[in-house]
Amino acid sequence: MEGLTALDRIDIQIEVPAVPFRELSAKTPGTSSAEMRKQVVGAREVQRQRFARTATRQNGQMTHRQIRTFCPLDDACTNLLRSTMTELALSARAHDKILRLARTIADLDGSESIAPAHISEAINYRTLDRNLWS
């Protein structure tokens, strides 16, 4: 269990597989650095406004109480998160990290609310949790 506790403290956990050559040599452009910077600057501005009257500056710093305030979920999001928490036997800490990540993904997406796609993406960033329980 000691290893689980340590991994539980890491916000984003992903394995990065080797990229096939055909993808590296493809002509299809990805997101440019300038576009990504624009999204990040926009998300940080949303977070600055969200936490204007608090000591918190970014979603990753949210307390459990702030998560409950700033990460309301609709039924679809709640059901997805509940089933993942149950299936993977995740901790309360992992629950909060998933919500912080989902809030950030929603901010980057320009969305005021967290959608199931944001929850799903945040869950996918917890791959080490999944691998430990498989």
Condensed to tens digits (0 to 9), the pLDDT of residues 66-101 reads 999 999 999 999 999 999 999 988 889 999 999 999
Mean pLDDT of 50-73: 96
Query: Are the C-beta atoms of residues 92 and 7 closer than 8 Å to each other?
Result: no
Q: How confident is the model at residue 44 (pLDDT cuts 50, 70, 90)?
A: very high
Q: Is the pLDDT of residue 133 over 50?
A: no
Is pTM beyond 0.85 here?
no
DSSP string, 4-45: HHHHHT-S-B---PPPPHHHHT-S-----HHHHHHHHHHHHH
Query: Are the C-beta atoms of residues 132 and 4 closer than 8 Å to each other?
Result: yes
What mean pLDDT is reported for the chain? 86
Mean pLDDT of 19-25: 79
Q: How confident is the model at residue 116 (pLDDT cuts 50, 70, 90)?
A: very high
Q: Is 56 helix (H, G, I), strand (E, B) or coil?
A: coil
In angstroms, the CA 47 to CA 95 distance is 20
% of residues, the chain, pLDDT over 90: 63
Mean pLDDT of 59-66: 96
CA separation, residue 112 to residues 15, 66, 96, 118 (Å)? 29, 16, 18, 11
Mean pLDDT of 109-120: 97
